Amino acid sequence: MTEQAVHAPASLAQRVRGDFPILAQEQDGKRLVYLDSAATGQKPSSVIDAIDSFYRNSNAPIHRSTYALAESSTQLFEGARERIAAFMGATTETTIFTRNATEAINLVAHAWGRDPRTGNIGEGDVVLVTEMEHHSNIVPWQMLCRDTGATLDYVKITDDGLLDADDLAAKLAGGNVKLFAVAHISNVLGTVNDVKALVAQARAAGATVLIDGSQAVPQMPVNVAEIDADFYVWTGHKAYGPTGIGVLHGRRELLATMRPWLGGGDMIKVVNWNDSSYNDLPWKFEAGTSAVAEAVGLGAAIDFIAELGSENIRAHEHALVENALPRLAEIPGLTVVGPGAEARGGVISFTLDGMHPHDVGELLGRENVCVRTGHHCAQPLMRRLGIPATARASFACFNDTDDVDALIEALHKARKVFGL
Amino acid sequence: MMDELYRDYILEHYKEPHHFGELENPDMQAHDVNPLCGDELGVHLKVDESGTITDLAFHGKGCAISQASASIASEELIGMKVDDVAKLDADWLIDLLGIEISPTRRKCALLNLKVMRGAVTGDASWPE
C-alpha cells in the first residue's frame, strides 16, 4: 500500500508529461519546472490541436447558417457543452459559457442580485463571503452591496486556514444572509472546503449559495448535482483549457426566471422595436458571438481530465503535497500558510524569513522553477494572515517529485544568495 | 557567491536600510502601493524655509530591490531642493542603483521616487 502510494505519482506524471509541448523547453540548459498551475494551467496537445483543427477545418458562424461547415462548427460548440455538462453532473441548459469565472460571478451579481423585480439583494440584506476569497469573489459583491444598500460580511478563517465553523454558524443565524459565496478550494491556502455541507447549511438558513470552483475543477472530482449549489462557477484556463472561456452552472429554476445580463445577438427569440423576447437556456445568457474555438478547446481539456480521472489527479497531487510539505518545513525560516495535507489541494503558499517573496520568485525563476509571488488576488486574506505577500507552488498532473526536488534545491540556492 | 542583481551593497541596504522609519511632524509626506505586488512605501520629509530637504524617512514593506532603492536614494535626496526632486526621472534612480533592472522589477525600483513625487508635488505619477 505504502509502496503504491510512493509510485503512483511518478507513473501519472511520466504518462502525461509528453502531452504538454511547453514542458520540453529549457532555459540555460535547465528544464522547465512549472509550479504555477493555480494561476494558469499548461495545455496538453489535444487542447492545442482541437483549437488548431477548429480554425483550419471547421470555422463558421454557429447556430444560424445552414451550410455544412456551419453545421459542423455548431456541433463542435454544442458538443463541447454537452461533454462539459455531463462531466460536471449538469445539464446543457444549466451550463452557460462565460469569458471566465470572474464574468460568471458578475453575471450572477447583476442578473440575480440586481433584479429590481425580485429584490433578491436589498437594504438590510447580507452578502456573506469568506476571508479566503479571491478578489473575483469579493469585488463584484462589494459593488452589488454599494448599489443596493446591502452589507458585505466575511466568514473568518482559523489560524490553520480553515473556515471558522462557529463564525459561519453565528453569521448565518443572523437570518439576513441572502447570498453565501465561497471558494471550493482556496487559491492561496489550498484549503478544500466541504462545499456540499456548506450548501446545505447555508440553504437551511435561507441563503442562496454560489461556489467558486476555479481551483477545484482541474484537481478533484466535482459533481454540481451532488454539491447542489444554486450557482457553481469555474474557469477554463486553470483546467488545462484555453483563456477566454469559463462556465456558470446554475439551478434551472433560478436561471429560468433571471433576466439576461448582456443584451445582443444570439440571446433573443424575437426583437421588436421596443422590446424583445429572450432565447431559451443556456443561450439567454450568451449574448454576442461566443468564444467558439475556446469552447471547443475547453471540451478537449475536459476530455483530457476525464481520461486521466479527476480522482487520480487528486490522489497524485495529494501525494506531491505530502512529499513537499515536510521537506519545505526543513528549510530554515520557511513558513507554510494554510492547513495540513489532509485538508489541502495541490497548492502550497509560503514565506521565507529574510527574503521577500518577489526576490524568492526572481531567484527561483533563474533556475527555471516557476512559482507565483505576490498577494495572489487575495489582499484581504494577506492582511488577515499579517503578511504582504507569499510565494506559491502549485501542482498539476504533470508534476512529479523531481519538481519538488528542484523547488527545494532552488530555495536553498536563493537563501545562499541572500547570505542566509 | 556574487549575484549580478543582488549585489552585496544592495543586500546590505535591504538588510539595514538607511533613513528608515517615521518622522514626527513631517512637513511633507506621501504613501503609495504597488498594485502588482501590494508592496507599500511611505515617506516623511522635513523641509526648511529654502525648500531644502533636511531629513527624510521611508517606511513600508517590500522586496530587496524596492527597499534597497529607497535606502540608496535617501542618501542623495537629503540636501536636495524639493523643486529639484520633482524633476528627477527614472534614469537618475536606475543609474544610482548601478544594477540592471528587468522590466518586471522596474516598478519595485521606482516606487520610492513615485512616493517622493507624491510628497513634493501631490502628483504621484510613475517616473519615466
pLDDT in tens, A76-97: 999 999 999 999 999 999 999 9
Answer whether B63 touches A (CB < 8 Å): yes
> Cβ separation of B11 and A418 shorter than 8 Å?
yes
Chain A hits for B40, Cβ within 8 Å: 388
- What per-residue confidence (pLDDT) applies to A10? 56
Nearest-by-Cβ selection for A419 from B11, B36, B65 = B11
Chain B hits for A414, Cβ within 8 Å: none
The amino acid that residue B119 corresponds to is A
Q: Which residue of B has its CA nearest to A383?
A: B38
Residues of chain B with pLDDT under 50: none
Mutation target among A28, A139, A188, A358 for the B interface, most CBs of B within 10 A: A358
User: Residues 325..364 of A with a Cβ closer than 8 Å to B: which?
Assistant: 354-359, 362-363
User: Does the pLDDT value for residue A6 go beyond 80?
Assistant: no
Give me the DSSP letters along A378-420: -HHHHHHHT-S-EEEEE--TT--HHHHHHHHHHHHHHHHHTT-
Minimal Cα–Cα distance from A417 to chain B, Å?
7
The DSSP symbol for B81 reads B
Between CA A83 and CA B90 the distance in angstroms is 53
Give me the DSSP letters along A99-137: SSHHHHHHHIIIIIIS-TTTTSS-TT-EEEEETT--GGG
Chain B hits for A379, Cβ within 8 Å: 38
Mutation target among B3, B34, B37 for the A interface, most CBs of A within 10 A: B37
Between CA A341 and CA A325 the distance in angstroms is 8
Answer whether B40 touches A (CB < 8 Å): yes
The residue-averaged pLDDT of A119-123 equals 94
Nearest-by-Cβ selection for A358 from B3, B37, B40 = B37
Give me the DSSP letters along B16-74: S-TTBS--SS-SEEEEEE-TTT--EEEEEEEE-TTSBEEEEEEEEE--HHHHHHHHHHH
> Cβ separation of A418 and B37 shorter than 8 Å?
no
Mutation target among B36, B39, B107, B108 for the A interface, most CBs of A within 10 A: B39
Minimal Cα–Cα distance from A358 to chain B, Å?
6
Residues facing A65 on adjacent strands: none
- What per-residue confidence (pLDDT) applies to A3? 46
Q: What is the pLDDT of residues A48-63, one digit of tens each?
A: 999 999 999 999 999 9
Cell of A64: 444560424
Superfamily of domain A2-31+310-417: Aspartate Aminotransferase, domain 1 (3.90.1150.10)
For chain A, the residue count is 420
Q: Which of A85, A190, A186 lies closest to A137, judged by CA?
A: A186
Answer whether B9 touches A (CB < 8 Å): no
- What per-residue confidence (pLDDT) applies to B1? 56
Q: Are A266 and A290 in contact (CB under 8 A)?
A: yes
The DSSP symbol for A90 reads -
- What per-residue confidence (pLDDT) applies to A158? 96
Alpha-carbon Rg for chain A in angstroms: 22
Minimal Cα–Cα distance from A377 to chain B, Å?
9
Question: For domain A49-307, which architecture applies?
Answer: 3-Layer(aba) Sandwich (3.40)
Q: What is the pLDDT of residues A246-282, one digit of tens each?
A: 999 999 999 999 999 999 988 999 999 999 999 999 9
The residue-averaged pLDDT of A13-40 equals 96
- What per-residue confidence (pLDDT) applies to A413? 97
Q: Where are the domains of chain A?
A: 2-31+310-417, 49-307
- What per-residue confidence (pLDDT) applies to A118? 87
What structural domains does chain B harbor? Answer: 8-119 (3.90.1010.10)
Q: Which residue of B has its CA nearest to A373?
A: B37
C-alpha separations of B36 from A48, A186, B106 in Å: 30, 20, 12
Answer whether B108 touches A (CB < 8 Å): yes
Q: How confident is the model at residue A64 (pLDDT cuts 50, 70, 90)?
A: confident
Answer whether A115 touches B (CB < 8 Å): no
Chain A hits for B6, Cβ within 8 Å: 359, 363, 417-418
Answer whether A416 touches B (CB < 8 Å): yes
- What per-residue confidence (pLDDT) applies to A4? 46
Task: Report ipTM (2 d.p.).
Answer: 0.90
- What per-residue confidence (pLDDT) applies to A242? 98
In the numeric block, the cell 427569440 is attached to A269
Active site residues of A: 377
User: Does the pLDDT value for residue A122 go beyond 90?
Assistant: yes
Q: How confident is the model at residue A214 (pLDDT cuts 50, 70, 90)?
A: very high
> Cβ separation of B38 and A374 shorter than 8 Å?
yes
Q: What is the pLDDT of residues A167-204, one digit of tens each?
A: 999 999 999 999 999 999 999 999 999 999 999 999 99
The residue-averaged pLDDT of A12-32 equals 96
> Cβ separation of B6 and A418 shorter than 8 Å?
yes
- What per-residue confidence (pLDDT) applies to A388? 85
The residue-averaged pLDDT of A299-323 equals 97
> Cβ separation of A388 and B39 shorter than 8 Å?
yes
> Cβ separation of B6 and A359 shorter than 8 Å?
yes
